[in-house]
Protein backbone atom coordinates (compact mmCIF):
# COMPACT_ATOMS: atom_id res chain seq x y z
CA UNK A 1 0.00 0.00 0.00
CA UNK A 2 1.14 3.55 -0.73
CA UNK A 3 2.32 5.81 2.07
CA UNK A 4 -0.45 6.78 4.51
CA UNK A 5 -0.92 10.50 5.12
CA UNK A 6 -1.31 10.89 8.91
CA UNK A 7 -3.57 13.91 8.40
CA UNK A 8 -6.49 11.71 7.33
CA UNK A 9 -5.27 8.11 7.35
CA UNK A 10 -5.81 7.96 3.58
CA UNK A 11 -3.12 6.59 1.29
CA UNK A 12 -1.27 9.06 -0.91
CA UNK A 13 -2.75 9.04 -4.41
CA UNK A 14 -6.25 8.11 -3.24
CA UNK A 15 -9.24 10.08 -2.01
CA UNK A 16 -12.21 9.47 0.22
CA UNK A 17 -15.84 10.53 0.11
CA UNK A 18 -17.45 11.96 3.21
CA UNK A 19 -20.58 13.63 4.50
CA UNK A 20 -19.50 16.78 6.31
CA UNK A 21 -21.44 19.16 8.52
CA UNK A 22 -20.80 22.88 8.82
CA UNK A 23 -23.24 24.71 11.09
CA UNK A 24 -26.65 23.37 9.99
CA UNK A 25 -25.54 22.31 6.50
CA UNK A 26 -24.60 18.72 5.63
CA UNK A 27 -22.96 18.10 2.25
CA UNK A 28 -21.10 15.46 0.28
CA UNK A 29 -17.40 16.08 -0.16
CA UNK A 30 -14.27 14.63 -1.67
CA UNK A 31 -11.40 14.54 0.82
CA UNK A 32 -7.78 14.40 -0.28
CA UNK A 33 -5.17 12.60 1.83
CA UNK A 34 -3.75 15.91 3.08
CA UNK A 35 -7.16 16.91 4.44
CA UNK A 36 -8.20 19.28 1.65
CA UNK A 37 -11.96 19.25 1.08
CA UNK A 38 -13.75 19.62 -2.27
CA UNK A 39 -17.48 20.31 -2.03
CA UNK A 40 -19.17 18.05 -4.61
CA UNK A 41 -22.75 18.63 -3.51
CA UNK A 42 -23.80 20.61 -6.61
CA UNK A 43 -23.11 17.63 -8.86
CA UNK A 44 -23.79 14.97 -6.23
CA UNK A 45 -26.58 16.18 -3.95
CA UNK A 46 -27.36 12.75 -2.49
CA UNK A 47 -26.01 9.21 -2.28
CA UNK A 48 -28.08 7.96 -5.21
CA UNK A 49 -26.27 10.48 -7.40
CA UNK A 50 -22.92 9.25 -6.08
CA UNK A 51 -23.41 5.50 -5.92
CA UNK A 52 -26.14 4.91 -8.50
CA UNK A 53 -23.69 4.76 -11.44
CA UNK A 54 -20.49 4.20 -9.56
CA UNK A 55 -17.97 3.63 -12.36
CA UNK A 56 -19.03 6.89 -14.02
CA UNK A 57 -18.87 8.69 -10.67
CA UNK A 58 -15.39 7.38 -9.96
CA UNK A 59 -14.12 8.54 -13.34
CA UNK A 60 -15.53 12.03 -12.79
CA UNK A 61 -14.33 12.31 -9.21
CA UNK A 62 -10.83 11.16 -10.15
CA UNK A 63 -10.68 14.21 -12.40
CA UNK A 64 -12.10 16.42 -9.65
CA UNK A 65 -9.53 15.16 -7.16
CA UNK A 66 -6.68 16.28 -9.39
CA UNK A 67 -8.02 19.60 -10.66
CA UNK A 68 -10.64 21.22 -8.43
CA UNK A 69 -9.84 23.86 -5.86
CA UNK A 70 -10.47 22.93 -2.24
CA UNK A 71 -12.82 24.80 0.07
CA UNK A 72 -9.91 26.19 2.04
CA UNK A 73 -11.21 24.60 5.22
CA UNK A 74 -9.50 21.33 6.23
CA UNK A 75 -11.59 18.27 6.99
CA UNK A 76 -10.60 18.50 10.65
CA UNK A 77 -12.67 21.69 10.96
CA UNK A 78 -15.89 19.94 9.93
CA UNK A 79 -18.07 17.47 11.78
CA UNK A 80 -17.82 14.14 9.95
CA UNK A 81 -21.17 12.37 9.69
CA UNK A 82 -21.92 8.76 8.81
CA UNK A 83 -20.99 8.39 5.12
CA UNK A 84 -24.49 7.36 3.98
CA UNK A 85 -28.06 8.10 5.04
CA UNK A 86 -30.66 5.49 6.06
CA UNK A 87 -28.94 2.53 4.39
CA UNK A 88 -29.89 -1.07 4.64
CA UNK A 89 -27.14 -2.46 6.86
CA UNK A 90 -26.27 -6.05 6.03
CA UNK A 91 -24.14 -7.71 8.70
CA UNK A 92 -22.03 -10.80 8.11
CA UNK A 93 -22.27 -13.28 10.95
CA UNK A 94 -19.29 -15.27 12.23
CA UNK A 95 -17.11 -14.49 9.21
CA UNK A 96 -13.63 -14.74 10.76
CA UNK A 97 -12.72 -18.28 11.77
CA UNK A 98 -10.72 -17.52 14.91
CA UNK A 99 -13.23 -14.92 16.15
CA UNK A 100 -16.14 -17.28 15.54
CA UNK A 101 -14.38 -20.05 17.46
CA UNK A 102 -13.60 -17.64 20.31
CA UNK A 103 -17.20 -16.45 20.41
CA UNK A 104 -18.59 -19.99 20.47
CA UNK A 105 -16.12 -20.85 23.25
CA UNK A 106 -16.16 -17.85 25.58
CA UNK A 107 -19.54 -16.16 25.12
CA UNK A 108 -22.19 -17.18 27.61
CA UNK A 109 -25.73 -18.37 26.97
CA UNK A 110 -26.74 -20.65 24.12
CA UNK A 111 -23.15 -20.83 22.85
CA UNK A 112 -22.35 -23.15 25.76
CA UNK A 113 -24.98 -25.79 24.99
CA UNK A 114 -22.50 -27.79 22.88
CA UNK A 115 -19.80 -27.86 25.56
CA UNK A 116 -19.15 -31.37 26.87
CA UNK A 117 -19.16 -32.04 30.60
CA UNK A 118 -15.79 -31.05 32.04
CA UNK A 119 -14.46 -29.85 28.68
CA UNK A 120 -11.70 -27.25 28.95
CA UNK A 121 -11.80 -23.94 27.09
CA UNK A 122 -8.88 -25.11 24.96
CA UNK A 123 -10.54 -28.34 23.86
CA UNK A 124 -13.88 -26.62 23.27
CA UNK A 125 -12.12 -23.95 21.20
CA UNK A 126 -10.43 -26.56 18.99
CA UNK A 127 -13.77 -28.27 18.32
CA UNK A 128 -15.38 -24.94 17.49
CA UNK A 129 -12.52 -24.01 15.17
CA UNK A 130 -12.94 -27.33 13.35
CA UNK A 131 -16.65 -26.61 12.94
CA UNK A 132 -15.94 -23.15 11.50
CA UNK A 133 -13.31 -24.55 9.13
CA UNK A 134 -15.86 -27.02 7.75
CA UNK A 135 -18.28 -24.15 7.23
CA UNK A 136 -15.72 -22.45 5.00
CA UNK A 137 -15.72 -25.51 2.73
CA UNK A 138 -19.35 -26.61 2.84
CA UNK A 139 -21.45 -23.76 4.22
CA UNK A 140 -22.76 -20.45 2.92
CA UNK A 141 -22.78 -16.84 4.15
CA UNK A 142 -25.04 -15.79 7.02
CA UNK A 143 -26.55 -12.29 7.02
CA UNK A 144 -28.69 -10.38 9.46
CA UNK A 145 -30.06 -6.85 9.04
CA UNK A 146 -29.30 -3.89 11.29
CA UNK A 147 -31.44 -0.79 11.68
CA UNK A 148 -30.23 2.47 10.16
CA UNK A 149 -31.61 4.08 13.33
CA UNK A 150 -28.57 2.76 15.19
CA UNK A 151 -26.08 4.34 12.74
CA UNK A 152 -23.82 7.23 13.78
CA UNK A 153 -20.64 8.82 12.50
CA UNK A 154 -16.97 8.13 13.16
CA UNK A 155 -16.52 10.65 15.97
CA UNK A 156 -19.90 10.52 17.70
CA UNK A 157 -20.32 9.51 21.32
CA UNK A 158 -21.51 5.94 21.80
CA UNK A 159 -24.34 5.73 24.32
CA UNK A 160 -24.34 2.70 26.61
CA UNK A 161 -27.90 1.60 27.45
CA UNK A 162 -29.25 1.32 30.97
CA UNK A 163 -29.90 -2.41 30.62
CA UNK A 164 -26.94 -4.80 30.70
CA UNK A 165 -23.23 -4.31 31.21
CA UNK A 166 -21.63 -6.57 28.55
CA UNK A 167 -21.28 -3.85 25.92
CA UNK A 168 -18.97 -5.33 23.31
CA UNK A 169 -17.13 -4.09 20.22
CA UNK A 170 -16.57 -5.65 16.80
CA UNK A 171 -14.50 -3.57 14.36
CA UNK A 172 -15.32 -4.49 10.77
CA UNK A 173 -14.31 -3.77 7.19
CA UNK A 174 -17.49 -2.37 5.65
CA UNK A 175 -18.49 -2.42 1.99
CA UNK A 176 -20.51 0.40 0.43
CA UNK A 177 -22.72 -1.02 -2.30
CA UNK A 178 -23.01 0.51 -5.77
CA UNK A 179 -26.25 0.82 -7.71
CA UNK A 180 -27.54 -1.46 -10.42
CA UNK A 181 -26.92 -4.78 -8.72
CA UNK A 182 -29.17 -7.41 -10.29
CA UNK A 183 -30.79 -10.36 -8.62
CA UNK A 184 -28.74 -13.56 -8.46
CA UNK A 185 -25.29 -12.05 -8.73
CA UNK A 186 -22.45 -14.43 -9.41
CA UNK A 187 -19.50 -13.82 -7.03
CA UNK A 188 -17.26 -13.34 -10.07
CA UNK A 189 -19.21 -10.24 -11.12
CA UNK A 190 -20.05 -8.92 -7.66
CA UNK A 191 -16.94 -6.73 -7.38
CA UNK A 192 -18.53 -4.44 -9.97
CA UNK A 193 -21.13 -3.53 -7.35
CA UNK A 194 -18.68 -2.61 -4.62
CA UNK A 195 -18.31 1.16 -4.66
CA UNK A 196 -15.75 1.28 -1.89
CA UNK A 197 -14.82 0.51 1.68
CA UNK A 198 -15.23 2.23 5.02
CA UNK A 199 -14.75 1.42 8.70
CA UNK A 200 -17.60 -0.06 10.70
CA UNK A 201 -18.18 -1.17 14.27
CA UNK A 202 -20.95 -3.62 15.15
CA UNK A 203 -21.61 -3.31 18.88
CA UNK A 204 -24.01 -5.28 21.04
CA UNK A 205 -24.89 -5.99 24.67
CA UNK A 206 -24.19 -9.63 25.43
CA UNK A 207 -26.89 -10.21 28.07
CA UNK A 208 -29.59 -8.90 25.76
CA UNK A 209 -28.54 -11.08 22.84
CA UNK A 210 -29.13 -14.47 24.46
CA UNK A 211 -32.75 -15.53 25.05
CA UNK A 212 -33.68 -18.58 27.10
CA UNK A 213 -37.44 -18.00 26.97
CA UNK A 214 -37.71 -18.81 23.25
CA UNK A 215 -36.28 -21.57 21.08
CA UNK A 216 -34.85 -18.95 18.71
CA UNK A 217 -32.08 -18.44 21.35
CA UNK A 218 -30.74 -15.19 19.85
CA UNK A 219 -32.41 -11.77 19.93
CA UNK A 220 -30.93 -9.77 17.06
CA UNK A 221 -32.47 -6.44 18.08
CA UNK A 222 -30.03 -6.52 21.00
CA UNK A 223 -27.49 -5.32 18.41
CA UNK A 224 -29.65 -2.34 17.37
CA UNK A 225 -29.24 0.04 20.32
CA UNK A 226 -29.00 3.74 19.38
CA UNK A 227 -25.40 4.60 18.32
CA UNK A 228 -24.32 0.91 18.28
CA UNK A 229 -23.44 0.98 14.56
CA UNK A 230 -20.64 3.40 13.73
CA UNK A 231 -19.41 4.02 10.17
CA UNK A 232 -16.91 6.29 8.43
CA UNK A 233 -15.07 8.57 8.20
CA UNK A 234 -14.53 8.02 4.47
CA UNK A 235 -15.69 5.80 1.65
CA UNK A 236 -12.51 4.94 -0.26
CA UNK A 237 -13.17 3.68 -3.82
CA UNK A 238 -12.55 0.00 -4.48
CA UNK A 239 -10.49 0.99 -7.53
CA UNK A 240 -7.67 2.01 -5.19
CA UNK A 241 -7.30 -1.54 -3.88
CA UNK A 242 -5.79 -4.18 -6.16
CA UNK A 243 -6.73 -6.63 -3.41
CA UNK A 244 -7.58 -6.47 0.29
CA UNK A 245 -4.51 -8.25 1.65
CA UNK A 246 -2.89 -5.03 2.91
CA UNK A 247 -5.89 -3.94 4.96
CA UNK A 248 -5.48 -4.41 8.70
CA UNK A 249 -8.26 -3.89 11.25
CA UNK A 250 -7.20 -2.37 14.58
CA UNK A 251 -9.27 -1.42 17.62
CA UNK A 252 -7.99 0.09 20.88
CA UNK A 253 -9.80 0.71 24.15
CA UNK A 254 -8.22 3.40 26.31
CA UNK A 255 -5.07 3.16 24.21
CA UNK A 256 -4.71 -0.61 24.67
CA UNK A 257 -4.83 -2.82 21.57
CA UNK A 258 -7.77 -5.24 21.51
CA UNK A 259 -8.07 -6.16 17.83
CA UNK A 260 -5.26 -6.24 15.27
CA UNK A 261 -5.91 -8.59 12.37
CA UNK A 262 -5.74 -8.83 8.54
CA UNK A 263 -9.08 -7.71 7.15
CA UNK A 264 -9.02 -10.25 4.33
CA UNK A 265 -8.80 -13.30 6.60
CA UNK A 266 -12.50 -14.02 6.05
CA UNK A 267 -14.48 -17.22 5.72
CA UNK A 268 -16.54 -15.72 2.88
CA UNK A 269 -15.45 -12.72 0.78
CA UNK A 270 -17.44 -9.53 0.17
CA UNK A 271 -18.16 -10.79 -3.34
CA UNK A 272 -19.59 -14.03 -1.98
CA UNK A 273 -21.69 -12.12 0.52
CA UNK A 274 -23.07 -9.81 -2.16
CA UNK A 275 -23.95 -12.82 -4.28
CA UNK A 276 -25.76 -14.43 -1.35
CA UNK A 277 -27.57 -11.20 -0.43
CA UNK A 278 -28.75 -10.68 -4.00
CA UNK A 279 -30.65 -13.97 -3.78
CA UNK A 280 -32.50 -12.83 -0.67
CA UNK A 281 -33.30 -9.12 -0.98
CA UNK A 282 -32.67 -5.98 -3.09
CA UNK A 283 -29.28 -4.25 -3.00
CA UNK A 284 -29.57 -0.46 -3.13
CA UNK A 285 -26.95 2.23 -3.79
CA UNK A 286 -25.30 3.32 -0.57
CA UNK A 287 -26.26 0.22 1.40
CA UNK A 288 -23.64 -1.05 3.85
CA UNK A 289 -22.31 -4.56 4.22
CA UNK A 290 -20.40 -5.06 7.48
CA UNK A 291 -18.07 -7.98 6.84
CA UNK A 292 -17.77 -9.46 10.31
CA UNK A 293 -15.13 -8.96 12.96
CA UNK A 294 -11.73 -10.56 13.56
CA UNK A 295 -10.70 -12.03 16.92
CA UNK A 296 -10.31 -9.91 20.02
CA UNK A 297 -13.75 -8.78 21.10
CA UNK A 298 -14.60 -7.94 24.69
CA UNK A 299 -15.90 -11.37 25.64
CA UNK A 300 -12.52 -12.86 24.69
CA UNK A 301 -10.65 -10.25 26.76
CA UNK A 302 -13.16 -10.52 29.65
CA UNK A 303 -13.49 -6.76 29.36
CA UNK A 304 -16.53 -4.80 28.27
CA UNK A 305 -17.05 -1.14 27.48
CA UNK A 306 -18.10 1.26 30.21
CA UNK A 307 -18.88 4.95 30.48
CA UNK A 308 -15.68 6.99 30.37
CA UNK A 309 -13.85 4.63 28.03
CA UNK A 310 -12.39 5.79 24.72
CA UNK A 311 -12.49 3.56 21.64
CA UNK A 312 -10.30 4.07 18.56
CA UNK A 313 -10.65 2.09 15.33
CA UNK A 314 -8.37 2.08 12.28
CA UNK A 315 -8.22 0.21 8.99
CA UNK A 316 -5.24 0.73 6.68
CA UNK A 317 -5.95 3.47 4.15
CA UNK A 318 -9.52 4.11 5.34
CA UNK A 319 -8.89 6.60 8.14
CA UNK A 320 -9.85 6.27 11.79
CA UNK A 321 -12.73 6.50 14.22
CA UNK A 322 -12.62 7.98 17.73
CA UNK A 323 -15.48 7.51 20.20
CA UNK A 324 -16.20 8.37 23.80
CA UNK A 325 -18.41 5.91 25.66
CA UNK A 326 -21.10 7.67 27.69
CA UNK A 327 -23.94 6.53 29.93
CA UNK A 328 -27.48 6.84 28.64
CA UNK A 329 -29.50 9.75 30.00
CA UNK A 330 -32.90 8.22 30.72
CA UNK A 331 -34.66 11.36 32.01
CA UNK A 332 -36.16 9.37 34.85
CA UNK A 333 -37.50 6.55 32.70
CA UNK A 334 -36.78 2.91 33.56
CA UNK A 335 -37.09 -0.23 31.42
CA UNK A 336 -40.32 -2.20 31.68
CA UNK A 337 -38.83 -5.53 30.53
CA UNK A 338 -35.12 -5.17 31.24
CA UNK A 339 -32.87 -8.20 30.92
CA UNK A 340 -34.33 -11.39 29.40
CA UNK A 341 -34.99 -14.26 31.82
CA UNK A 342 -31.96 -16.38 32.61
CA UNK A 343 -33.75 -19.69 32.99
CA UNK A 344 -35.93 -21.19 30.24
CA UNK A 345 -39.60 -21.70 31.08
CA UNK A 346 -40.40 -25.07 32.59
CA UNK A 347 -41.80 -27.71 30.24
CA UNK A 348 -45.40 -28.74 30.76
Q: Is 76 helix (H, G, I), strand (E, B) or coil?
A: helix
Q: What is the pLDDT of residues 112-139, one digit of tens each?
A: 778 999 999 899 989 988 888 888 888 9
Measured CA distances, 31 to 50, 252, 323 (Å): 14, 25, 21
pLDDT at 244 over 60: yes
pLDDT at 344 over 60: no
Instruction: Give backbone dihedrals phi and psi of 274, rounded to 5 degrees, phi first.
Output: -65, -40
**Cis peptide leading into residue 74 (ω within 30°):** no
pLDDT at 295 over 80: yes
Taking the model in full, what pTM does it have? 0.93
Fold of 89-327: Fumarylacetoacetate hydrolase; domain 2 (3.90.850)
Q: What percent of the chain has pLDDT over 70?
A: 97
- Domains of the chain, residue spans: 16-80, 89-327
Cα–Cα dist 206/292, whole Å: 16
What count of residues does the chain have? 348
Of residues 227 and 211, more confidence is placed in 227
Contact (CB, 8 A) for 317 and 329 = no
Amino acid sequence: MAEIDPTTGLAVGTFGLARLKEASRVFHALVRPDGDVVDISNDYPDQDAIYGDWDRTFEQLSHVAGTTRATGTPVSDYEICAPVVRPQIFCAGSNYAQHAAEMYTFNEGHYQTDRRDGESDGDFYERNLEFVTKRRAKGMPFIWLASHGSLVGPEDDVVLPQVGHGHDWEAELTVVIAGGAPRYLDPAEAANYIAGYTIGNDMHTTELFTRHDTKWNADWIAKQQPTFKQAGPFVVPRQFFADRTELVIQLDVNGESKQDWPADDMIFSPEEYLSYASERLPLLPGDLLMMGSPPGNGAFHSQFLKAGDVMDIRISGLGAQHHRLVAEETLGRTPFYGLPPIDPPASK
